[in-house]
Chains A and B, each alone.
Chain A
Amino acid sequence: MNIYLPVAHTSINLIIMLSIGTGIGLLSGLFGVGGGFLITPVLMMFGIPPTVAAASGANQMVAASTSATLTHWKLGNVDMKMGLYLLAGSFLGGGLGVQVVKILNAMGNIDFVIKLTYVLLPFTVGGIMLGESLKKKSPDKGHEGRVRQSACSRLMGSLPFQMEFAKSGVRHSAILPVLIGIMVGVLAAIMGVGGGFIMVPIMLYILKMPMRVIIGTSVFQILFTVIEVTFLQSYTNHSVDFVLALVMLTGSSIGAYIGTMFSEKLNTEQLKVLLALLILSVGVKILFELMSKPSLLLAYSFGGK
């Protein structure tokens, strides 16, 4: 059964798209990530234009993060103060990112930038995660990490506007979460992701927040970031296809539920290694695409059909 997407102007097989959504949901449920970083490249593989894939991915994340934020809010896992500073940054970043998309779209290079971002970030994050997981097996390398950590801590400690974040039990400059928020906001606009897979390691390794608060605060901030990005993408680039977002969301909700049930029965360290490998494999695939000679050497320029 096919359905026609009114903004992407393409026809998709509903069963296939629901299955993909379920598959991505299954992975996000298993690994505890939003799945946004998987949705955009998969949609591109199925012929959805990159700008529509990224913008609709952000729209899908609104629904996914609403559900997660409500749950964490009830459990008291949201650091409101930290969340608001992150939010201020991500609002700026989101607006900046949408303008970047608009300019690159006009230049005809948005596809390349989206794909390149999907190579660089998965390699960085996947590499760090894999490194951290493997490092635990070799304690000798701990010293180097401590030296790097202390240099980073000194830099953060020297920044102005230091303040307490009571819920997280940490003290940081207000500039730090704002800068992190800007980075995540730009990524949300370009990649169509919530930024959880960037935000969580940063909160854990740089901001030193407790894991319980990290997830809740991350989804709270992501919710408002993707709301902003969805609005700006609709208003500026007319690239949000909410029919597509709804289809993906339906599948991913079912998948996430099943994935969460299975994740309870699996080893956490094994899951981390698997997630790192998954993120790296996405990066390798897109890198291969960028380096291989494309079958078509022409692409429609902005305004073309």
Chain B
Amino acid sequence: MGKLLKTLLTVLVVLLSVNHANAALTLSLDKKMIPINAFYKGNALKITGTVASGEDVVVKITSPLENESFMVKEKLFHLFWMNKDKVDVSKVNSVYMLYSSADIDGILPVAERNKYSLGYEALHNSVGISGASDKDALFREFIKVKEAGKLYSAPDNKVGNKVILMPLKDGNNSFWLTVKMPYQVPIGRYEVAVYAVKNRSIVQMVSDNVLIEPVGVVREISDIAMNHGGVYGVLAIIIALITGYMVTPVIGIAKRMLLAAIMAPRSIINAVNGQVYPMSALEETDQAKE
């Protein structure tokens, strides 16, 4: 009986501690939608929340899994570099950003990183590559392309000190991270997943979504260009024709205004000196030149 009671008490303590940990991890995003407007140049996403004391935090921002195709550049005829063979990368995130409160290699073993796809090494193990003989080399090039396009960030898993932890009065920690979402990140819905790490394993995970989508005039133009190419083409031509028609008169007006602005002080000086310098004379000179 005593042994049973002791076991029940142990289970209760474990359950309570797990429950405590579960209750501690929270996530909050400062925005659910990042609008792409006419002056868009990327946007900052503030990710905040709480985590139990003694736990580390890993934040992962990803797009849904999809398949992507690439062309491999090779030197042809020992002369020009051009696209040659096509390779397919399957089950891959087109956008992948990873941040943590400590060096991920130090806080998580390989098996745990692979399980949750945390870090490039884990990604390498999960994606499918077809059409390439050297898959390791191709994956390295794939990461270089993604990083150059600012779509991937998790350099060598050494991403510590990005997520800031601050102690709270209730014994938990608050975490805080600002991610610059560059303009290169395409339109779509992205998952923000936060992992609580304790004793080299992930003890809890919460997630939320953020949507990047065009609004206003950008959305209208993009929609017409993609879905009504003929109408868009006619509009683009009409706008260009009107602009071309207006260029010469507008420059003529601007030139006259500029000349008037330059000559005005001289007119005033001449007027003060008792001389008259009519502006119409300027226009006549201008017309004679034309």
Contact = CB atoms under 8 A, between A and B. Distances in A.
A290 B81 CA distance: 6
Contacts of B256: none
A234 B42 contact: no
A305 B233 contact: no
B236 interface: yes
Nearest to A9: B186
A3 interface: yes
A238 B229 contact: yes
A124 interface: no
B39 A3 contact: yes
A238 B231 CA distance: 11
B253 to A, nearest CB: 12
Contact of A2 (B39, B69, B72, B217): B39
B41 A298 contact: no
B186 A305 contact: yes
A245 B220 CA distance: 17
A212 to B, nearest CB: 18
B268 interface: no
B257 to A, nearest CB: 14
A66 interface: yes
Interface residues of B, number: 58
A234 B248 contact: no
Interface stretch (A107-115, A145-153, A202-210): A107-115
B226 interface: yes
A232 B37 CA distance: 27
A79 B64 CA distance: 59
Interface stretch (B6-14, B140-148, B152-160, B193-201): B140-148
Interface in B216-235: 217-219, 221-222, 225-226, 229-230, 232-235
A213 B239 CA distance: 28
Given A2-B39, A297-B72, A298-B72, A66 B148 contact: no
Interface string A268-294: 000000000000000000000011111
Nearest to B69: A301
A65 interface: yes
A53 B158 CA distance: 38
A22 B259 CA distance: 20
Contacts of A227: 237
A142 interface: no
B230 A62 contact: no
A299 interface: yes
Contact of A109 (B82, B187, B255): B82
A192 to B, nearest CB: 13
B6 to A, nearest CB: 58
A49 to B, nearest CB: 12
A303 B66 CA distance: 12
Given A1-B39, A66-B240, A108 B86 contact: yes
A189 B72 CA distance: 26
A4 B80 contact: no
A249 B81 contact: no
Interface string A63-78: 1111100110000000
Contacts of A62: 236-237, 240-241, 244
A301 B240 contact: no
A112 B80 contact: yes
Interface string B273-289: 00000000000000000
Contacts of B226: 238
A2 B80 CA distance: 35
Contact of A67 (B39, B82, B214, B245): B245
Contacts of A71: 248
Contact of A63 (B138, B148, B240): B240
Contact of B38 (A3, A111, A291): A3
Nearest to B74: A297
Given A227-B237, A230-B233, A298 B222 contact: no
B87 to A, nearest CB: 8
Nearest to B70: A298
Interface string A49-66: 000000000011011111
Interface in B27-75: 36-42, 68-73, 75
Contact of B236 (A67, A245, A292, A298): A245
Interface of A: 1-4, 6-7, 9-11, 59-60, 62-67, 70-71, 108-109, 111-112, 116, 227, 230-236, 238, 240-243, 245-246, 249, 253-254, 257, 290-305
13 contacts: A2-B41, A4-B39, A64-B244, A111-B83, A112-B80, A230-B236, A230-B240, A235-B229, A293-B75, A294-B73, A295-B144, A298-B73, A300-B69
Given A4-B39, A238-B232, 10 more contacts: A2-B40, A4-B38, A4-B218, A9-B187, A108-B71, A235-B229, A240-B236, A245-B240, A291-B79, A293-B81
